[in-house]
Amino acid sequence: MPKLLRELKAFYKKEGREHLPWRKTKDPYKILVSELMLQQTQVERVIPFYNRFLKTFPSARALARAPLSRVLQHWQGLGYNRRAKFLHQAAKILTREGWRGQKLPGVGPYTAGAVAAFAFNKPEVFIETNIRTVFFHHLFQGESLEVGDNELLPLVAEALKKSKMQPRDFYAGLMDYGSYLKKQGVRLNNKSKHYTKQSTFEGSARQLRGAILRELLKKTLTLAQLIKNLSPRTKGEIERELKRLQTDGLLLRRGRHWTAAE
């Protein structure tokens, strides 16, 4: 643990990613936007989306007032479009009730902890992929066993307390250090019991869902038109993903026509 903290502090002091736009704010709404965008998406890809999104929707109230279809249009290119819907729903709750610790859609323990730490500087204990990398690299490198987050969380809590760092700096440092270790070839997250390898995007159902939504954000279409526009994807594939998008609340069906949710 002492070596981990020494290297963490030295790295963060010298190499901390202070240029990241969400590091320059304590606004919980803006931090929530960044955290949802960063889920399963690389930091450098998120930056331009984050800046454009906040230019259009600078507050939870502005986002809550917008139709979902407009929110989805501004989310295009980031993928995992349910995140946009969750953020839109969260904005409505926050506009109505404020930040009173209520449960928000799409916000699990990690995201809630990250918002609490970065916006309010609260000493919450949470974990994500870069944090896991740091702890595996320093404390579990030579071991072959799989380690669960329930084993890592007490170590994170101990490190936070012993570091005497502000919570927002502690977690920013861990994430920056973990990202750096990964770029240096450190690949240890398969030691985690929670590790899952991301499936290939090309030709996937996820890619098809994105393509369907992109088409329907342009205009209302029938199934036959979608099949023509999305060739060589099959009718069965398209029907299956249409139903999934409808279940997720991202699409509406009106008779023979499909359209993006409003």
Cα separations in angstroms, 240 against 143, 209, 245, 254: 43, 10, 9, 17
How many CB atoms neighbour CB 247 within 10 A?
9
CA Rg value for the chain: 21
Tokens 């109230």 — which residue? 61
3-state SS class at 258? strand
Q: 7, 15, 35, 143: which one is catalytic?
A: 35
For the question of residue 241 being annotated catalytic, the response is no
Instruction: Round to whole Å and give the CA distance between 127 and 116.
Output: 13
Cis peptide before 167 (omega within 30 of 0): no
Please list the active-site residues. Answer: 35
